[in-house]
A and B are shown apart, each in its own frame.
Chain A
């Protein structure tokens, strides 16, 4: 059996050296490059995990929770509303589970008739903090998602997706949730360790911004989203 005394001796020995010496230097890493093929794969991989549907239903538990909630609502024919969260364009059903909150947006919030599907019109924040570069982007008729990265490894994720009939999952375990105002709209702000997340809606869309940013920066980005309702 591996002896605890050996472990202690090894620990002392390791503590005598700079661990960096066991790893490639910054110069060696800077010499590493990636092919276009790899970059394309990586961009797709990063985008997929951000995709609304994957994100919303990405675990069996959440899928089951979503189905249960849907069945309960259908059987009871009761609309559960949270009055305190009710705003003209911010109406949703919320269900808090032990570790996460599932928000279901009403089907009839969007006045557009179902047979007149209007593709998503991309709306982007006009303010992104200095030093950030766009590193991935997905814009199609359903989604507008962008990721910005900074040299200091700070990341900003922005997404705009349809609100109508959709569900939003928020991990509320170990998180502080507060309601704030973004240009006179109610928004939900979440802080979990050094990660911040904010979302709000207009008549058609859900806007989400997140990253390892300060609350102030996140709000500044949110306030720069040029929403023109009606």
Chain B
């Protein structure tokens, strides 16, 4: 019971924020979960987990733009789906989880590349990596804020950002743009 009390929105304002988020994003959440799990029932389980996460961290959503809120919701949904996927142990390896290549990157590897080329390669990134980059680079979210909202550690956010950039670097290199 005590644990449950801590899982729900704290104030009436938070309650409305969560209720609005629920009606607004529930389909998006399930859509994201379906992309990972390819299974209706599991996707709904992941949707539940994502909604519980959002209810717990609803205060973190205050003051965020609609676009940033949407990116967060997608990342939370994806994480919930991947967690479930791993629990289910249906496959040993997750197809959208190329992590941390430790690729040596130039300090400012995007410096001399046309913006159009960069965005074309960003489009090719897996959605989760693209959204982490979107939150950090476009919406100006700090790594600390991302970690807090997603309920993950700062180091994980750091690794995810690093991994997303390494993948982008790899794609640009493969296209002879670097």
Q: How far is the CA of A24 from the CA of B134 in the complex (A)?
A: 16
**Cross-chain contact A58 with B10 (CB below 8 angstroms):** yes
Name the B residues within 8 Å of A153 (CB-CB): 20, 23-24
**Cross-chain contact A22 with B27 (CB below 8 angstroms):** no
Name the B residues within 8 Å of A48 (CB-CB): 4, 8
**Cross-chain contact A50 with B15 (CB below 8 angstroms):** yes
**Secondary structure class of chain B's binding surface, majority of residues:** helix
List residues of B (1-56) whose CB comes within 8 Å of A's CBs: 4-6, 8-13, 15-16, 18-20, 22-24, 26-28, 30-31, 34, 40-41, 44, 47-48, 51-52, 55
Residue of chain B at shortest CB distance from A147: B19
**Cross-chain contact A3 with B55 (CB below 8 angstroms):** no
* CB-contact partner of A16 in B116, B136, B137, under 8 A: B116
Q: Is B110 an interface residue (CB 8 A)?
A: yes
Q: How far is the CA of A41 from the CA of B109 in the complex (A)?
A: 48
**Cross-chain contact B44 with A37 (CB below 8 angstroms):** yes
Q: Is A77 an interface residue (CB 8 A)?
A: no
Name the B residues within 8 Å of A58 (CB-CB): 5, 8-10
Per-residue contact bits, chain B 59-81, to A (CB 8 Å; 1 contact, 0 not): 00000000100100010000000
Q: Is A123 an interface residue (CB 8 A)?
A: no
**Cross-chain contact A210 with B12 (CB below 8 angstroms):** yes
**Cross-chain contact A16 with B119 (CB below 8 angstroms):** yes
**Cross-chain contact A6 with B6 (CB below 8 angstroms):** no
**Cross-chain contact A45 with B137 (CB below 8 angstroms):** no
**Cross-chain contact A149 with B12 (CB below 8 angstroms):** no
- Stretch with Cβ within 8 A of B (4 or more), from A7-15, A85-93, A221-229: A7-15
* CB-contact partner of A155 in B10, B20, B31, B127, under 8 A: B20
Q: Is A81 an interface residue (CB 8 A)?
A: no
**Cross-chain contact A10 with B162 (CB below 8 angstroms):** no
Residue of chain A at shortest CB distance from B25: A29
**Cross-chain contact B115 with A16 (CB below 8 angstroms):** yes
**Cross-chain contact A5 with B108 (CB below 8 angstroms):** yes
Residue of chain A at shortest CB distance from B30: A32
Q: Is A19 an interface residue (CB 8 A)?
A: yes
Q: Is B122 an interface residue (CB 8 A)?
A: yes
Per-residue contact bits, chain A 29-49, to B (CB 8 Å; 1 contact, 0 not): 110101101100110011011
Name the A residues within 8 Å of B24 (CB-CB): 153
What is the number of residues of chain A that contact chain B, defined by CB distance less than 8 Å?
56
Q: How far is the CA of A35 from the CA of B41 in the complex (A)?
A: 8
List residues of A (185-225) whose CB comes within 8 Å of B's CBs: 192-193, 195, 197, 210-212
**Cross-chain contact B134 with A14 (CB below 8 angstroms):** yes
Name the A residues within 8 Å of B8 (CB-CB): 48-49, 54, 58
Q: How far is the CA of A128 from the CA of B163 in the complex (A)?
A: 51
**Cross-chain contact A14 with B26 (CB below 8 angstroms):** no
Q: Is A75 an interface residue (CB 8 A)?
A: no
**Cross-chain contact A22 with B134 (CB below 8 angstroms):** yes
Residue of chain B at shortest CB distance from A22: B130
Name the B residues within 8 Å of A7 (CB-CB): 136-137
* CB-contact partner of A28 in B31, B109, B138, under 8 A: B31
Q: Is A117 an interface residue (CB 8 A)?
A: no
**Cross-chain contact B108 with A34 (CB below 8 angstroms):** no
Interface residues of B (CB under 8 A from A): 4-6, 8-13, 15-16, 18-20, 22-24, 26-28, 30-31, 34, 40-41, 44, 47-48, 51-52, 55, 67, 70, 74, 107-111, 113, 115-116, 118-119, 122-123, 127, 130-131, 133-134, 136-138, 140, 158, 161-162, 165
Can you report 10 A-B residue pairs in the complex whose CB atoms are below 8 A from each other? Answer: A2-B158, A19-B67, A19-B134, A22-B130, A22-B131, A32-B27, A37-B44, A38-B48, A48-B8, A60-B6
Q: 6 more A-B contacts (CB under 8 A) besides A22-B131, A34-B30, A54-B5?
A: A5-B110, A6-B165, A17-B119, A38-B48, A197-B12, A212-B20
